[in-house]
């Protein structure tokens, strides 16, 4: 029998067109929904922080609809956000975080709203607000920071929340501790992050937004001089170029869809272009995994594939064919970021971990 108290935890995960909400009792899911917003509903907001009240109200309405009393919550945990670089862990939401997440500018990202909404609802509940493994978790080795041009550094931006949760889960499933293993973990979602983990630290990250393999909707690394031409060719604005690279790159640019499921269907129907592009995406992912093997000096216990695209068994096989010689490949398809958020909060509520304090570096 458990000796723990029971904790009610609300988890909030804002994505570009939806906010996922979930209510947990400890790590048991009680309710979950994806609150989807029409393009029209978000269109009036010029900047991500402008969506704050609209999204907060949608979460409050959801709680009301399900008869969930706000003052019965023991913690609220929001996904974050493009903070400055920080260590992996659970953070108590503080003023520095709120200020950074309210800022308008180049670091706007839908997940920035997670801690803002969490802090306000936690305030109503008289409960703590947390965030867990934000997208800027940075445990990179210093050597990995060099880009090749003084003044520009490589940065650690990726799917840290799911990657860290899967790392712990995969290690436990194989009777090991994450801190004992050397792993390469690739999150294959709308964006792709390929990461090297040395004994529990994520020491290199391919860069989910602007580098690494192409993905369903991102271009990844591109030939630089062609990008310079694109920027100064006079045909696109800065915002259009960013959108081309981040929302309309990868599968979208080649095939007009960000759905790997749709690409699989086209291949099954004999579409040779879809097959060539999908094989190229697998090739680039495998190549980045190979690069991460060198980061770990070839001492790799396992390669872990996760995220929605890891459901695609054919693509997983194409990757395995190229990297299987490095280490065994474990597939953990999908993601459970809501559970990862709740578990991060729970570790702190149960005093298994301290809540970290964010201070911009």
Ligand X SMILES: Nc1ncnc2c1ncn2[C@@H]1O[C@H](COP(=O)(O)OP(=O)(O)OP(=O)(O)O)[C@@H](O)[C@H]1O
Copy the structure tokens of residue 200.
Answer: 């529990």
Cα–Cα distance for residue pair 64/21, rounded to 1 Å: 13
Residue (63 or 186) nearer to ligand BUA, CB:
186
Copy the structure tokens of residue 14.
Answer: 């804002």
Cα–Cα distance for residue pair 93/277, rounded to 1 Å: 42
Q: Is 189 in the site for ligand X (CB under 6 A)?
A: yes
Residue (191 or 213) nearer to ligand BUA, CB:
191
Distance of closest approach, residue 218 Cβ to ligand BUA, in angstroms: 8
Interface with ligand X by CB under 6 A: which range of 87-95, 113-121, 266-274, 309-317? 309-317
CB 42 within 8 A of CB 17: yes
Cα–Cα distance for residue pair 75/128, rounded to 1 Å: 5
Show the binding pattern over residues 223-262: x = contacts ligand X (CB under 6 A), - = does not: -----------------------------------xxxx-
Residue (109 or 266) nearer to ligand BUA, CB:
109
Binding to ligand BUA (CB under 6 A) within 174-213 occurs at 191, 208-209
Q: How far is CA 13 from the centre of its chain?
A: 10
Please name which of 147, 165, 163 lies closest in space to residue 155, comparing C-alpha atoms.
147
Q: Is 305 in the site for ligand X (CB under 6 A)?
A: no
Residue (112 or 258) nearer to ligand X, CB:
258
Helix (H, G, I), strand (E, B), or coil: what is residue 280?
helix
Query: Sheet holding 182-188: strands in order across?
Result: 201-205, 192-198, 182-188, 302-307, 329-333
Beta strands in 37-119 (DSSP E): 75-78, 90-92
Distance of closest approach, residue 198 Cβ to ligand BUA, in angstroms: 21
Binding to ligand BUA (CB under 6 A) within 109-148 occurs at 135
Query: What angle (nearest 5°) sits at the alpha carbon of residue 205, between those of residues 204 and 211?
Result: 135
Q: How many residues does the chain have?
A: 361
| Binds ligand BUA by CB under 6 A, chosen from 23, 113, 137, 157 | 157
135 binds, among ligand X, ligand BUA, none (CB under 5 to 8 A by kind): ligand BUA
Residue (122 or 331) nearer to ligand X, CB:
331
Q: Is 133 in the site for ligand X (CB under 6 A)?
A: no
Cα–Cα distance for residue pair 176/257, rounded to 1 Å: 39
- Which residues contact ligand X by CB under 6 A? 159, 189-191, 216, 258-261, 264, 307-309, 311-312, 335
- Which residues contact ligand BUA by CB under 6 A? 135, 157-159, 191, 208-209
């Amino acid at each position: 029998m458990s000796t723990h108290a029971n904790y009610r935890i609300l988890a909030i995960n804002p994505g570009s067109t939806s906010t996922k909400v979930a209510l947990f009792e400890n790590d048991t899911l009680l309710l979950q929904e994806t609150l989807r917003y029409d393009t029209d509903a978000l269109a009036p907001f010029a900047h991500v922080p402008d969506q704050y009240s609209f999204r907060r109200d949608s979460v409050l309405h959801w709680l009301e609809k399900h008869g969930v009393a706000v003052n019965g919550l023991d913690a609220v945990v929001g996904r974050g956000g493009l903070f400055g670089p920080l260590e992996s862990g659970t953070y108590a939401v503080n003023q520095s975080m709120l200020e950074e997440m309210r800022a308008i500018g180049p670091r706007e990202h839908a997940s920035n709203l997670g801690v803002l909404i969490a802090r306000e609802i936690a305030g109503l509940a008289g409960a703590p607000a947390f965030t867990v493994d934000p997208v800027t978790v940075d445990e990179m080795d210093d050597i990995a920071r060099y880009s090749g041009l003084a003044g520009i550094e490589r940065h650690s931006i990726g799917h840290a929340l799911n990657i860290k949760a899967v790392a712990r889960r995969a290690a436990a499933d194989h009777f090991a501790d994450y801190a004992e293993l050397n792993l390469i973990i690739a999150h294959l979602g709308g964006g792709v992050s390929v990461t090297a983990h040395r004994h529990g630290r994520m020491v290199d990250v391919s860069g989910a937004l602007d580098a690494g393999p192409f993905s369903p909707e991102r271009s990844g690394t591109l030939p630089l001089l062609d990008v310079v031409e694109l920027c100064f060719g006079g045909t696109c604005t800065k915002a259009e170029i960013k959108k081309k690279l981040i929302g309309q790159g990868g599968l979208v640019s080649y095939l007009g869809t960000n759905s790997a499921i749709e690409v699989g269907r086209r291949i099954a129907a004999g579409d040779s272009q879809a097959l060539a592009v999908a094989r190229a995406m697998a090739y680039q992912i495998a190549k980045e995994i190979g690069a991460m093997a060198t980061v770990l000096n070839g001492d790799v216990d396992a390669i872990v594939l996760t995220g929605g695209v890891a459901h695609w068994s054919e693509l997983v096989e194409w990757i395995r064919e190229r990297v299987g010689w490095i280490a065994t490949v474990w597939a953990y398809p999908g993601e459970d970021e809501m559970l990862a958020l709740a578990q991060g909060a729970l570790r702190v509520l149960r005093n298994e971990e301290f809540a970290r304090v964010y201070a911009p570096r």
